[in-house]
Chains A and B, each alone.
Chain A
């Protein structure tokens, strides 16, 4: 890897922003009704466990990316196709993310602007930032994390002052037992957004401190789980589980309940801003992961494939589905059919191989 080193605070912010990303505004873990926040917390813990596996792989190969050690461990014949599959996954995830973001944006405010134009602007900005380098992306995330957190703080205070929060809507916790919660964890919340951390295996070689780094990222995941659970609890306590379940972007109607003496009202534009920032950084991280993978597997300079990859993401996001409903349906199915293979099965195999190899190689010197 190059000489670029990214500090811990910047890694924390990019990981946190990546996790909050789109998850902050959608109805996450809603399969479990008003216990969605419990489901998110459990999902977060499960995600951290999965991430421990990635961290193990990273500690064993601190200078290699995921594609790097896949090729090293499985040999070129298997490793390269697997790496290419991962690159396709990242490109696809970036595209799906952009579709999500673009459509939500069109639903929320930009009713008349074509989706293609919105997506083009987004991918161009992302390409510009990545052209400046991954370090610039992570540094920028630090500034925008502050903005997102400030917006969150402001909205919370305003919601409290408007008196829209009714905590009774959250009660009783786990009315029908733990069954639905666990089901929603398995089907939704541990993969999205926590399992998606698999793309950080491509970025982790840039960490300035290889010992502490993964722990910092796990700290970011925990913070993200707490914030997401808090947001979901806030949504439900403002709107009630019923409305949240039926709304694609529950944070919007929740925030629009803010009304202070007819002056501060309809501040849902802040939610749109959070949405844009979240989508941008999430998509950019996937984009960056794909670019690093491409430059490693095909031995190409990083910037050379920037615009072709941007074009692929843009077109994939457009032809991904005929409608948003189809897109969401597809996403829901991918979540428990395809993604676990990439996010758990393959890393598990790699962990096994690494463990066996290091076990034998350690013994040899004796």
Chain B
């Protein structure tokens, strides 16, 4: 916490300095003028609270504490700032006013975080962030007390990327809580945080997080450089940052991973990646991200490795079904029907008998209807969520078949692609697949398998041209790296993923004598037992002989 705080004020000051066009503005010597200036700057906002006090024996020194109600922790403010100030300040007021801030900081204030701010903008931003500024009459500096608090959503289970087995806590909107969630899992002094403020109006805290020695310095430097270049008014979500720092924007494929799960962040940090936390959103960015990463789930590592491989294969398959399902169906039924088994073909043709549309139009209609349903399902108030599924799935699905507009098998195909899109753990990759699906639909409708094959070539070429912070998007498949295959399509056992360690070093193995046997040798089969006894006797006899 302290590390973040320190670097936070530093770069905060930097950002604010840049905002004031280089000209440093200071507080006025006169307390009331300073207060008026602050009030004027925020437009006499009613939630700015100014409490004027006098320090020391009468007449005392005029002082004022400025804070925003709702953003401050009231208890902290009352007990450790105001209470401490009024109690402890008495003996200090004899000193000259210029030295007073330092003395108050050192001897009076009981609050954990406090610093002296000399700059006007820094003071203002601190107040707007929920800190309390203490201003003294006749003094051009302010004391900033860390009293940020207020109401946040408490830590709860993430709404995306769910797991059956694994930690259930997810990030929240408060960046301090999010950092603590990561720190709690990674108690390494090598974990480094760099804080900066992005957004000229929102002044959002953005924290760059990496593990020293794991993440390459080039990568960290590049991320830092790109973050510093970001010039935007508002940062309301990590998506704003993502769009501005990614390598290339003209692509449906995401090149930066995002997650709500602290365990995923820690795992990725230890694999040498960099995380970017943005205040006000539970979604943390992880980069660089390659294609295979979007098909991994935190649960792959808590299940047995063979099960995990199966789950991964299912996810890749579902992606293929998502982008190619309807288009292959169209290509098969309109261009290459000779490939279908005869009975199935007869069945299909019988269904198509009464349907007025060609398969392509049919598929397009159904896919668009399905997109409506999904979008409605996501945005709608929860209370009427049931209605959409009933109306959409049951009524629309069956009525459209009964009305003879769509063939039942097309409903099956569309439903299958819909389900396949939910099997991909990363939502942004699923959206990319949904978009590409329409392109393939068009190609298959016009050119059959010819269009699909060329479309695949172009898609893979496009993916090959993508890079995420210098890492080829399709690595480790292209360029091929055998070493990289350990945790992509496959998920090898833990001891195989950590080179340099033998299985014995990594897992506790019982000594040979305690290992479980079938029991067959010793107990169940008298013949073996007899043989063993005879062997023992013979050996015993041999060793006894010399005596």
A residues with CB within 8 A of B: 7, 9-10, 105, 109-110, 113, 118, 121-122, 125, 128-129, 132-133, 135-137, 139-140, 142-144, 262-263, 265-269, 272-273, 276-277, 280
- In the bound complex, how far is the Cα of B335 from the Cα of A10, in angstroms? 34
Neighbour of A110 across the interface among B335, B341, B460, CB < 8 A = B335
Q: Is the CB of A142 within 8 A of B454?
A: no
Q: Is the CB of A267 within 8 A of B458?
A: no
Which residues of A are found within 8 Å of B451, using beta-carbon distances?
Answer: 121
Q: Is the CB of B450 within 8 A of A121?
A: yes
Given contact pairs A262-B341, A280-B454, enumerate 6 new A-B contacts (beta carbons under 8 Å). Answer: A109-B335, A110-B450, A118-B447, A121-B450, A132-B461, A276-B449
- Confirm or deny: B95 has a beta carbon within 8 angstroms of a beta carbon on chain A: no
- In the bound complex, how far is the Cα of B336 from the Cα of A269, in angstroms? 8
Q: Chain B residue with minimal CB distance to A277?
A: B453
- Confirm or deny: B427 has a beta carbon within 8 angstroms of a beta carbon on chain A: no
- In the bound complex, how far is the Cα of B345 from the Cα of A263, in angstroms? 12
Q: Report the minimum CB–CB distance from B46 to chain A (whole Å).
A: 57
- In the bound complex, how far is the Cα of B68 from the Cα of A354, in angstroms? 82
Which residues of B are found within 8 Å of A129, using beta-carbon distances?
Answer: 457-458, 461
Would A143 and B339 be within 8 Å (CB), given that A128-B461, A132-B465 are in contact? no
The number of chain B residues touching the other chain, given as a range, is: 20 to 34
1/0 contact string of B434-463 vs chain A (CB within 8 Å): 000000000000011111011001101110
Chain B facing A: main interface SS: helix
Would A140 and B464 be within 8 Å (CB), given that A121-B454, A269-B336 are in contact? yes
Q: Is the CB of B339 within 8 A of A269?
A: yes
Q: Is the CB of A136 within 8 A of B341?
A: no
Chain A facing B: main interface SS: helix
- Confirm or deny: B338 has a beta carbon within 8 angstroms of a beta carbon on chain A: yes
Q: Is the CB of A139 within 8 A of B479?
A: yes
- In the bound complex, how far is the Cα of B462 from the Cα of A137, in angstroms? 10
- In the bound complex, how far is the Cα of B283 from the Cα of A264, in angstroms? 47
Which residues of A are found within 8 Å of B58, using beta-carbon distances?
Answer: none
Q: Is the CB of A9 within 8 A of B447?
A: no
- Confirm or deny: B474 has a beta carbon within 8 angstroms of a beta carbon on chain A: yes
Q: Is the CB of B478 within 8 A of A139?
A: yes
Q: Is the CB of B342 within 8 A of A262?
A: yes
- In the bound complex, how far is the Cα of B342 from the Cα of A109, in angstroms? 18
Q: Is the CB of B339 within 8 A of A266?
A: yes
Would A140 and B339 be within 8 Å (CB), given that A110-B450, A273-B449 are in contact? no
Neighbour of B341 across the interface among A105, A139, A140, A263, CB < 8 A = A263
Which residues of B are found within 8 Å of A121, using beta-carbon distances?
Answer: 447, 450-451, 454
Q: Report the minimum CB–CB distance from B182 to chain A (whole Å).
A: 35
Q: Is the CB of A272 within 8 A of B460?
A: no
- In the bound complex, how far is the Cα of B478 from the Cα of A128, in angstroms? 19
Q: Is the CB of A109 within 8 A of B448?
A: yes
Which residues of B are found within 8 Å of A10, using beta-carbon distances?
Answer: 478-479
Which residues of A are found within 8 Å of B335, using beta-carbon distances?
Answer: 109-110
Neighbour of B480 across the interface among A128, A142, A280, CB < 8 A = A142
Q: Chain B residue with minimal CB distance to A146?
A: B477
Q: Which 10 A-B pairs have the closest CB atoms?
A: A132-B465, A129-B461, A139-B464, A276-B453, A140-B461, A139-B478, A125-B454, A136-B464, A136-B465, A142-B478
Q: Report the minimum CB–CB distance from B317 to chain A (whole Å).
A: 15
Which residues of B are found within 8 Å of A128, using beta-carbon distances?
Answer: 458, 461-462
1/0 contact string of B21-33 vs chain A (CB within 8 Å): 0000000000000
- Most chain A CB atoms below 10 A, which of B338, B457, B479: B457
Which residues of A are found within 8 Å of B479, using beta-carbon distances?
Answer: 7, 9-10, 139, 142
Q: Report the minimum CB–CB distance from A366 to chain B (whole Å).
A: 45
Q: Chain A residue with minimal CB distance to B343?
A: A262
Which residues of A are found within 8 Å of B454, using beta-carbon distances?
Answer: 121-122, 125, 276, 280
Which residues of A are found within 8 Å of B453, using beta-carbon distances?
Answer: 272-273, 276-277
Neighbour of B460 across the interface among A109, A144, A276, CB < 8 A = A144
B:324-343 near A, CB below 8 Å: 335-336, 338-339, 341-343
Which residues of B are found within 8 Å of A277, using beta-carbon distances?
Answer: 453, 457
Q: Is the CB of B478 within 8 A of A143?
A: yes
- In the bound complex, how far is the Cα of B343 from the Cα of A276, in angstroms? 29
Q: Is the CB of B465 within 8 A of A125?
A: no
Q: Is the CB of B461 within 8 A of A137?
A: yes
Q: Report the minimum CB–CB distance from A288 to chain B (whole Å).
A: 13
Q: List 8 A-B contacts (CB under 8 A).
A: A121-B450, A121-B451, A140-B464, A143-B464, A262-B342, A265-B341, A268-B339, A280-B457
